[in-house]
Amino acid sequence: MVVCNFFMQGRCRYGDKCWNEHPSGGNASSGGGGGGSRGGYNNSRPPSNRGGAGGGGFGNRVWVNPSQRSGGNYVQPSSFSRGGDDWGGGGGNNWNTGESGGGRDNVKSTEFSFSSQNRFTALNNASTFDKAGRDRPGDENEKHLETIQNDMEIWETSGQWVFSCYSVLKATISGFRDHSPEELRLEYYNNKDSGDLQGYANGIIQLINQWRSRVQELKTMNATTRVAMLAELNNPVPQATSEGFGSSGTGFGSSTTSFGAGGFGAPAQPQPSSASGFSFAVPSAEFGSSATQAAPTGFGVAAATAVATPPPSGFGSFPASSPPSASGFSFAAPVAEATKAPSTSGFGGSASGFSFSSTANSGGGFGAAAPSTGGNDFGQTSVSSLFGGSATGTVAGTGSAGELTDSLFTSQSELTPEELSEFGAKRFSLGQIPLKPPPANMLVI
């Protein structure tokens, strides 16, 4: 086959339909041609290398991609055939790299030659050019943070309904709860009947204050908030509610169309509307497979968050951790949940009711409750240690994990007296939950 000259120059109008050969490795960037009439334009020229330009040089050309050219600004490497000026054609003279912002492919005709040095200078110019117009990833985060700040300001001044959740991109920003006006009015009516309007008013004021402080936090954006926000934005943890989903619990995994792009963008804040204390039901419902109800093992309530970077399919997701609010949630110690597929991300257990108020979410795996379901996967280390002093930070370390997966029980001799007493007690006390599984004989059914 005859090699297509135009393709070599990057301007074959016929593209794939061209009857001549388009060698690969040459000018892969040559744009598609007109396609329409095969006027034989290409064929009318003698299929010879034009103007004595070395044939071997063809493979090395750096081509401006004609498909990227705009309108009349067609870039023609006029020096392609040294001496041929019939290419001079469209606007051959005004290409310098500084021209027309964003045009990355303008190449100086004078620089254009076969030698390898100049080939790369063209590239250099183009690439710096390109970058100037584009944000680096870090900038995008900055923009999001700015958006958050602006939104907070507007929220404060615009008289907007304050009891609303808030989100940027796909991530719900924690710390905001959804209450509809009707729910608040219900509270009002309830309290009016019982005569406790002051209590209602106080509850509302409390909510407003919480909101206000949260807005302040986000507006001023100090370092910790910043980090937390970036974590939330980049890892949109779907904060599912504590209750199981779906009537039969089996199945939202079944239909893949039910998920939009990227699985679960949809976080929710499972917050109560009433001011009184309340407890979540046991968290459950894993996506993508039949729901597993993790055994609560004697723990009343858990709120756990999935670990950072959850893959979109098949992992358990858990309710949000929200900043501890004054309206008494009763959280017992967190529960570790087994995921069906250990290869997917591990799970975290973090109960927000406890010490920290930051919104960082990656939870650590916990050894204590795990043993009842063998073969657990442990998530990443927790950001802040959730149990007072105990070294839970190391729980997720592989050492203990290995140990646990090997044996379900520890023998009594290996346990310290404190741990033994914990196992013997009716409930684990916070901060002293043993890291090793109980001895088999202590398991009383």
Partner 1 sequence: MTGSNEYKLNQGPEDSISAVKFSPSTAQFLLVSSWDSTVRLYDVGGNSMRMKYQHSAPVLDCAFYDPTHSWSGGLDTQLKTHDLNTDQDTIVGTHDAPIRCVEYCPEVNVMVTGSWDRSVRLWDPRTPCNAGTFSQPEKVYTLSVAGDRVIVGTAGRRVLVWDLRNMGYVQQRRESSLKYQTRCIRAFPNKQGYVLSSIEGRVAVEYLDPSQEVQKKKYAFKCHRLKENGIEQVYPVNAISFHSVHNTFATGGSDGFVNIWDPFNKKRLCQFHRYPTSIASLAFSNDGSTLAIASSYMQEQGDISHPEDAIFIRQVTDAETKPK
Site residues (vs partner 1, CB under 8 A):
151, 154, 157-161, 163-168, 170, 172, 178, 180-186, 188-189, 239-241, 243-248, 250-252, 254-255, 257-260, 264-271, 273
**What is the nearest approach in angstroms of partner 1 to the Cβ of residue 140?**
17
Whichever of 79 and 241 has its CB closer to partner 1, that residue is: 241
**What is the nearest approach in angstroms of partner 1 to the Cβ of residue 266?**
4
- Measured between alpha carbons, how far is 121 from 126 in angstroms, rounded to an integer? 8
Backbone angles phi, psi at 171, to 5 degrees: -100, 130
**What is the nearest approach in angstroms of partner 1 to the Cβ of residue 236?**
10
Whichever of 9 and 167 has its CB closer to partner 1, that residue is: 167
Best CA proximity match to 414, nearest among 394, 400, 428, 398: 400
**What is the nearest approach in angstroms of partner 1 to the Cβ of residue 158?**
4
C-beta of residue 290 within 8 angstroms of C-beta of residue 248: no
Whichever of 174 and 392 has its CB closer to partner 1, that residue is: 174
Whichever of 110 and 290 has its CB closer to partner 1, that residue is: 290
> Long-range CB contacts (< 8 A, 24+ apart) of 129-133?
129/97, 129/102, 129/103, 129/104, 130/104, 132/101, 133/101, 133/102
**What is the nearest approach in angstroms of partner 1 to the Cβ of residue 160?**
4
Give the DSSP per-residue string, 121-136: HHHHHHHHHHHHTS--
Q: Which amino acid is at 345?
A: S
Whichever of 182 and 406 has its CB closer to partner 1, that residue is: 182
Whichever of 178 and 403 has its CB closer to partner 1, that residue is: 178
Q: Which amino acid is at 21?
A: E
Enter the tokens of residue 173: 């920003």
Token pair 């000018």: residue: 27
C-beta of residue 404 within 8 angstroms of C-beta of residue 371: yes
**What is the nearest approach in angstroms of partner 1 to the Cβ of residue 183?**
7
